[in-house]
Structure 1
């Protein structure tokens, strides 16, 4: 059976949309009952076995469905059922979020607005309202807190939860995930999708399996096979450039990646190799963390063709700034230090930084400081293959990127 068939097998058993799984929760819980959890630390080394000591953890990844666009459609009935993009419609604008109607035309977040309009001429642009999104995000965070203290927000619209303790006494992680999704819908009018599994890597993959308004449960005995069947471009952290490099090496699926020895991965992917080696085996020892403030917020872009001309580099930096500033506004952070990152065609990487005593409070200042840092490096010989800009020295952050370690309680809870 090919990869697609295997993937359908796992998800047809364990995934559902809407209210479909709610009726089946009681019948499926006992089949995946797990042994009591053992103590462990985030420094536990990788092994060739799929998370053997850790399969008793119960991790949920909750991801709101097209969050920003769904909020706009909720608040403006005239936008419902229509292709909507949150972001700027001007020539250098970037799509921050797209409704599912827009996605059907190929519109995606982080896409230049002009490209989005070419794909969907009837696309409706709505300016972002980050204060509203943050307020709703806090509502959702409060719902999570009814079920666990171990909440790791990744952004305003997604988070990891460790529900091993089962504070609410619902009996399974699946039941907890469904209760959370139902509460979010009832209290905010918005839908969320959830992935339930024994580690963060697989839970995040699972949450994307049955969107929108869906749930997917991957128990430990299905984890390695589930990962093996997936295209590697679906792996968190594998961007388009890395995916193309893998394709050139004949690595298309998790199974292909799993077949590669460690030395091969180190030779081609450097320090990223250990992550890939573990991910291909369904291994992820990271704990769910809470309350650590992000050290920096930014964005970077890898180019298909190396850039060396001043105008091309300036235009590229403006697009990086558009994407980075969306993340900065999401976090509510104020920073003082702007750092430029350049990776040259020979893979040398440099960073250059500049600080402002007043703090960087607007996009124009962020861009101006970035351009000044870039101009100091001109002329460039050989070309630039990656360009990035970050804001650090953050204060008053919303902590949406944040986490601090906390160990799971040792109890028995089925998925």
Structure 2
């Protein structure tokens, strides 16, 4: 194949479709061991919002979410739970992740690192579809998600998101 062929759009190589990932992970490592439950929950809220943006950008949905907690003694605890409904919305994963965290009973644990993984990613058309909801607050948040995604894509990923995810820099 010559440069002339390429310039004319002739390329005999086979075209292969790009495979979408089957999971997306995000992590947060604390500067010091974290004791404060509100600090841990704020980090988890931020961790669960980030994969939602990436999944929506690829037009996918997640079926399960995993939480891995690394403690100060380098031991790890991992749990996986299915979402109530396969979703890519920012509202759904935090509920499941907080339930996992509560089930671990780590009230006085010294947490060093958190990892969340959205797993079993599938194309959005394989999902349950759109259900009419009578919860106007949730519907308003779902309508706002594409706008927030565009703002974060343009100005930086942490510009707009859940208010509880922002930790005070004191």
Normalising by structure 2, what TM-score?
Answer: 0.59
Q: 1:313 to 1:357 in 2, by over 3 A?
A: closer
Q: 1:296 to 1:367 in 2, by over 3 A?
A: same
CA displacement at 1:325 relative to structure 2:
2.0
How far apart, CA to CA, are the structure 2 residues paired with 1:344 and 1:350?
Answer: 8
**Which of 340, 345, 352 is the matching residue for 2:79?**
352
Greater percentage in strand: 2
Q: 1:308 to 1:378 in 2, by over 3 A?
A: farther
> Residue 170 of structure 1 aligns with which residue?
3
CA displacement at 1:381 relative to structure 2:
4.1
Q: Which runs of 5+ in 2 are unaligned?
A: 8-15, 125-170
Residues 252-279 of structure 1, C-alpha deviations (whole Å, 9 max, x = no match): xxxxxxxxxxxxxxxxxxxxxxxxxxxx
> Residue 376 of structure 1 aligns with which residue?
103
Whichever of the two has the greater Rg, that structure is 1
CA displacement at 1:386 relative to structure 2:
0.8
How far apart, CA to CA, are the structure 1 residues paired with 2:85 and 2:41?
Answer: 25
1:312 aligns with 2:39: yes
1:327 aligns with 2:160: no
Q: Secondary structure at the residue paired with 1:351?
A: strand
How far apart, CA to CA, are the structure 2 residues paired with 1:307 and 1:333?
Answer: 33
Q: Which runs of 5+ in 1 are unaligned?
A: 1-166, 180-288, 398-415
CA RMSD of aligned residues (A): 2.6
How far apart, CA to CA, are the structure 1 residues paired with 2:81 and 2:25?
Answer: 15
Whether the aligned pair in 1 keeps the contact of 2:61 and 2:88 (CA below 8 Å) is: yes
Q: 1:326 to 1:356 in 2, by over 3 A?
A: closer
Structure with bigger RCO (C-alpha 8 Å, 6+ apart): 2
CA displacement at 1:374 relative to structure 2:
1.1
